[in-house]
């Protein structure tokens, strides 16, 4: 989906750093916002999975999916 490109908004902001320096910070806000939203969505998808019967397992798997996605998206998109 086109929303995936928001993860790379900071690259656009950095490329215009010297022409429009005030746009750099908002571009990072967009990129981290996308990373956070994607991580929350991944965790929610796991929590909504009816195939995991135990609530404790579901919470553990959701936390793992959220953290994994946040780390991956942060490293792939922002770092």
pLDDT at site 63: 94
- Does the structure show a pLDDT above 90 at 66? yes
Q: What is the mean pLDDT of residues 22-47?
A: 91
Query: 44: pLDDT confidence band, cut at 50, 70 and 90?
Result: very high
- Does the structure show a pLDDT above 90 at 43? yes
Report the predicted TM-score, pTM, of the whole model to 2 decimal places.
0.80
pLDDT at site 71: 93
pLDDT at site 4: 80
> Which residue has better confidence, 74 or 66?
66
Alpha helices, DSSP H only, in 1-79?
9-15, 24-47, 55-73
Tokens of 62: 């959701």
């Amino acid at each position: 989906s086109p929303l995936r490109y928001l993860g790379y908004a900071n690259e656009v902001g950095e490329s215009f750093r010297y022409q429009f320096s005030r746009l750099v910070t908002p571009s990072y806000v967009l990129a981290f916002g996308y990373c956070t939203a994607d991580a929350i969505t991944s965790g929610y998808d796991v929590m909504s999975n009816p195939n995991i019967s135990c609530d404790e397992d579901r919470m553990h798997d959701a936390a793992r999916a959220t953290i994994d996605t946040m780390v991956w998206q942060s490293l792939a998109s922002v770092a």
